């Protein structure tokens, strides 16, 4: 561990101490509440009572009696909804935004997603990238992420310090690259796999073509031993398909199936190139798919067969993927892109209806991450991960159809307040516990050191 990283960790611990826990009882009063419960209730003149990290009450504001010590938040003109769930991202790579534009498909695959100056980056750069990326997502209303990548031992500390909820997985591969199984085990040991822990660990085999059959099998064994969920890229390029075919598989999903890596505890990202029998396999095994439409369109000029997957009963979540290929880490944008591309690809303007898209970014995303009983809807007993959006904006008026407004008209910048585990992290569109100016300064300093900073 280099000294800079340990200094960073001390700083993170300090910030964590400075982030006081949630007040005993908070009353978010007189707002409109989109619950995302099974009845998808939309409540006007409603209140949410938060006790510690949990939601204690959701219902008419008139039923809430004031108690001494209450912290009351006036939510008139605000829509309260569950925090969004980003089911596939690489937060730390945000510092590479804008360095991978308009490459041909072939420019990605052989280079294994190489980015300029990647080889010079230090662990502390990834710590900073993760912190700034997490704050960016929080400000956009994303309260939970499934994060993966290298240096996850360092990155997870930054995510924890940011206040965001995260499942963290250190990337594993063994084809033409050294396997870092000990590092992945270290992340599992440090964070555990308890879904109620705000930061907890999963397993992150990279992809069917970059992991041997032996490694995929080892991952399944480790998942069984630890209870960790499995996050993997799947069927994202032709070179990947060629590689698995050379190993005797008909496709990437078949490769995962034969190695025991399909199931309700697996989230497969992308899934662009699927045969109909592979869609059926995903549905039959209860495997989740993290759909990343903006990134897929941008670097592969393709979109996943989401309408067909939905018809087959495949569980779908939504991800931004990383900033170099999106480039916005905004799940409101992502819902819209998913809807539009899904309709085009299906040649069906009725495909992927609004409630389904909103579910992908909230309750279904939570279920994909094994957090369906913890977050994803605003209901008593769940963690208080809550986003408040400004309703009184010209581009959101009128509110004939709140879910449609959220999917097709709202943006991350409409988010005003954000709570995670009942702790307010964003107030009036400003992060409370970090200074955005200092984050920008640090990013500039990193790029000056790497010798390729923006002007
Ligand atoms: Zn990815």
Give how far Cα 248 sits from Cα of 49, 219, 263, 282, Å.
56, 20, 22, 19
* Distance from the alpha carbon of residue 19 to the mean position of ligand 1, in angstroms: 31
Rounded CA-CA distance 260/216 in Å is 8
Q: Please indicate, yes or no, whether residues 383 and 329 belong to a single structural domain of this protein.
A: no
- Looking at the domain assignment, is residue 409 inside a domain? yes
Number of domains within the chain: 2
User: How far does residue 68's CA lie from ligand 1's centre (Å)?
Assistant: 48
Residue 434 C-alpha to ligand 1 middle, in angstroms?
27
Q: Are residues 61 and 177 in the same domain?
A: no
The pLDDT value given to residue 5 = 45
Which domain covers residue 396, as residue numbers? 25-82+378-431
Q: Report CA(233)–ligand 1 centroid distance (Å).
A: 6
Give me the pLDDT at residue 17, please: 46
> How much distance in Å is there from the Cα of 147 to the middle of ligand 1?
9
Q: Is position 12 within any domain?
A: no
Q: Are residues 36 and 154 in the same domain?
A: no
CA of 234 from ligand 1 middle (Å) equals: 9
9 inside domain: no
231 occurs within a structural domain: yes
At 19 the pLDDT is 57
In order of 54, 121, 343, the CA distances from 142 in angstroms are 18, 26, 25
Ligand 1: centre distance to CA 80 (Å): 30
Q: Are residues 73 and 217 in the same domain?
A: no
Q: How far is the CA of 322 from the centre of ligand 1 (A)?
A: 7
Residue 66 Cα to ligand 1 midpoint, Å, equals: 47
Within 13 Å and on the Cβ side, how many CA atoms surround 13? 6
Ligand 1 centroid to 268 CA: how many Å?
10
CA of 149 from ligand 1 middle (Å) equals 8
User: Domain holding 294: CATH number?
Assistant: 3.20.20.140
Q: How many CB atoms lie under 10 A from the CB of residue 453?
A: 12
354: left (phi over 0), alpha (psi -120 to 50) or beta: alpha
Report CA(229)–ligand 1 centroid distance (Å): 16
Do 155 and 218 fall within a single domain? yes
Residue-wise pLDDT for 196-239, tens only, equals 999 999 999 999 999 999 999 999 999 999 999 999 999 999 99
Q: Report pLDDT for 111.
A: 60
Nearest to 210 by CA among 263, 280, 152, 150: 150
If you measure from the C-alpha of residue 31 to the centroid of ligand 1, how many angstroms do you get, rounded to a whole number?
36
- Measured in Å, residue 88 CA sits from the centre of ligand 1 at 6
Q: Are 168 and 200 in contact (CB under 8 A)?
A: yes
Instruction: Specify whether 407 is located in the same domain as 329.
Output: no
In sequence order, the 6+-apart residues with CB closer than 8 A to the CB of 2 are 122, 123, 124
Q: What is the pLDDT of residues 340-397, one digit of tens each?
A: 999 999 999 999 999 999 999 999 999 999 999 999 999 999 999 999 999 999 999 9
Does residue 444 sit within a domain? Answer: no
Domain edge (last residue) among 368, 394, 410: 368
Going from the C-alpha of 252 to that of each of 112, 114, 199, 201, 240, the distances in angstroms are 17, 22, 30, 25, 8
pLDDT reported for residue 4: 41
Determine phi and psi for 303, rounding to 5 degrees. -135, 150
Predicted TM-score of the model (pTM): 0.95
Alpha carbons 58 and 295: distance in angstroms, whole number: 36
Same domain, 40 and 100: no
| pLDDT of the chain, 455 residues: tens digit per residue | 344 445 455 555 545 544 566 778 999 999 999 999 999 999 999 999 999 999 999 999 999 999 999 999 999 999 999 999 999 999 999 988 988 888 888 777 656 667 777 778 899 999 999 999 999 999 999 999 999 999 999 999 999 999 999 999 999 999 988 999 999 999 999 999 999 999 999 999 999 999 999 999 999 999 999 999 999 999 999 999 999 999 999 999 999 999 999 999 999 999 999 999 999 999 999 999 999 999 999 999 999 999 999 999 999 999 999 998 999 999 999 999 999 999 999 999 999 999 999 999 999 999 999 999 999 999 999 999 999 999 999 999 999 999 999 999 999 999 999 999 999 999 999 999 999 999 999 999 998 888 775 54
269 C-alpha to ligand 1 centroid (Å): 7
356 and 236 part of one domain: yes
**Would you say residue 175 lies in a domain?**
yes
What is the Å distance from ligand 1's center to 442 Cα? 25
206 is a domain residue: yes
- Indicate whether 91 and 162 sit together in one domain: yes
Report the pLDDT value the prediction gives residue 32, as an integer from 0 to 100: 98
The pLDDT value recorded for residue 105 is 85
Note whether residue 453 is domain-resident: no
Report CA-CA distances (Å) from 275 to 157, 253, 293: 40, 9, 19
Say if residue 104 is in the same domain as residue 50. Answer: no
Same domain? For 357 and 385 the reply is no
CA of 304 to the centre of ligand 1 (A): 14
Cβ count within 10 A of residue 5: 18
Taking the C-alpha atoms of 449, 15, 26 and 136 in order, what is their torsion angle to the nearest 10 degrees?
Answer: 10
Same domain, 61 and 197: no
Report CA(109)–ligand 1 centroid distance (Å): 13
**Domain of residue 42, CATH code:** 2.30.40.10
The pLDDT score that the predictor gives to residue 454 is 57
């Amino acid at each position: 561990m280099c000294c800079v990283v340990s200094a960073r960790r001390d700083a993170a611990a300090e910030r964590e101490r400075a982030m006081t826990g949630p007040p005993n009882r908070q009353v978010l009063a007189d707002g409109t509440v989109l619950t995302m419960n099974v009845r998808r209730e939309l409540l006007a003149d409603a209140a949410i009572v938060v006790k510690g990290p949990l939601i204690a009450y959701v219902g008419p504001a008139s039923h809430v009696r004031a108690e001494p010590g209450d912290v009351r938040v006036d939510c008139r003109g605000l829509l309260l909804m569950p925090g969004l769930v980003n089911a596939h991202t690489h937060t730390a790579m945000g510092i590479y935004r804008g360095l991978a534009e308009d490459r041909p498909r072939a420019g990605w695959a052989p280079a294994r997603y190489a980015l300029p100056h990647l080889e010079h980056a230090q662990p502390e750069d990834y710590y900073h990238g993760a912190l700034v990326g997490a704050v960016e997502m929080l400000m956009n209303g994303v309260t939970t992420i499934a994060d993966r990548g290298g240096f996850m031992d360092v990155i997870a500390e930054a995510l924890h310090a940011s206040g965001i909820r995260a499942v963290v997985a250190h990337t594993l591969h063994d084809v033409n690259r050294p396997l870092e199984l000990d590092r992945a085990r270290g992340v599992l040991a440090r964070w555990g796999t308890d879904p109620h822990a705000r930061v907890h660990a999963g397993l992150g085999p990279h992809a069917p073509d970059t992991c041997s059959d032996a490694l995929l099998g080892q991952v399944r064994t480790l998942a069984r031993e630890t209870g960790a969920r499995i996050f993997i890229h799947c069927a994202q390029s032709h070179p990947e398909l060629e590689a698995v075919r050379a190993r005797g598989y008909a496709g990437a999903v078949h490769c995962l199936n034969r190695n025991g890596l399909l199931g309700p505890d697996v989230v497969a990202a992308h899934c662009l190139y699927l045969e109909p029998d592979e869609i059926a396999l995903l549905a039959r095994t209860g495997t989740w798919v993290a759909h990343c439409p903006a990134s897929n369109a941008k670097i592969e000029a393709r979109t996943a067969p989401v309408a067909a997957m939905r018809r087959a009963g495949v569980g779908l979540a939504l991800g931004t993927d990383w900033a170099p290929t999106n480039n916005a880490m905004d799940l409101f944008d992502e819902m819209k892109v998913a809807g539009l591309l899904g309709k085009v690809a299906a040649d069906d303007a009725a495909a992927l209806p609004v409630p389904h898209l909103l579910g992908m970014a909230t309750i279904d995303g939570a279920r994909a991450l094994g957090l369906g009983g913890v977050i994803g809807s605003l209901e008593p007993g769940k963690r208080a991960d809550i986003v408040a959006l400004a309703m009184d904006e010209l581009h959101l008026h009128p509110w004939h159809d709140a879910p449609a407004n959220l999917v097709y008209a709202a943006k991350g910048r409409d988010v005003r307040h954000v709570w995670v585990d009942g702790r307010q992290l964003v107030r009036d569109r400003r992060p409370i516990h970090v200074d955005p100016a200092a984050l920008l300064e640090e990013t500039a300093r990193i790029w000056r050191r790497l010798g390729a900073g923006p002007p």
